[in-house]
Amino acid sequence: MKRILVAAGLAGIVGVMALSTAAFAGKEDREYKEKELMPAVKDAEAKFKSACGCGLAIAIDEATVKTKNEYTEVKYMVSAVTDGVAGYCTDAASKKALCKMKTLVLAKAAEATFTFKGGKGIATTDGQSHVSFEMITQELDK
């Protein structure tokens, strides 16, 4: 009987610990988004405009990207734009190609892909891999 009570007590403690960790998960997710991801988005938008001479609005698909791990994968895609755009928009043809994209939506999906239609690019992460800047330019510079 004592063993059953001890086991039940430990299960209760583990359950409380899991709830405590889960209670802070939303806060941790929000803080990462506000302090890490969104400043990186603003920086990428500014660098895109500076390098290519046109504006790009970067949006996060909040319906599919919700956790710190997902935000981290999205941030990798944002960093790919930030790091790649200056070296790519060096001539009129390249600027014209990239300036076709007015909006870039970053989302989570079953696979890491980039699609483009009507001025809108959609770059996805599968949670482990993400769209590279080369995948974006390859599609836009056809």
Range of the domain at 60: 32-140
Backbone angle region of 124, left / alpha / beta, with phi > 0 → left and psi within -120 to 50 → alpha: beta
Say what the pLDDT of residue 24 is: 55
Decide if 112 is inside a domain: yes
Decide if 4 is inside a domain: no
Decide if 14 is inside a domain: no
Decide if 7 is inside a domain: no
Q: Going by C-beta distance under 8 Å and a sequence separation of 6 or more, which residues neighbour residue 41? A: 58, 60, 78
Does the pLDDT at position 15 exceed 70? no
Give the least confident one: 13-22, 40-49, 93-102, 109-118.
13-22
Decide if 15 is inside a domain: no
129, 112 in Cβ contact below 8 A?
yes
Decide if 131 is inside a domain: yes
Average pLDDT over the chain, rounded to whole?
87
Decide if 92 is inside a domain: yes
Say what the pLDDT of residue 26 is: 87
Does the pLDDT at position 104 exceed 60? yes
Say what the pLDDT of residue 25 is: 63
Total domains in the chain come to: 1
139, 100 in Cβ contact below 8 A?
no
Decide if 18 is inside a domain: no
67, 25 in Cβ contact below 8 A?
yes
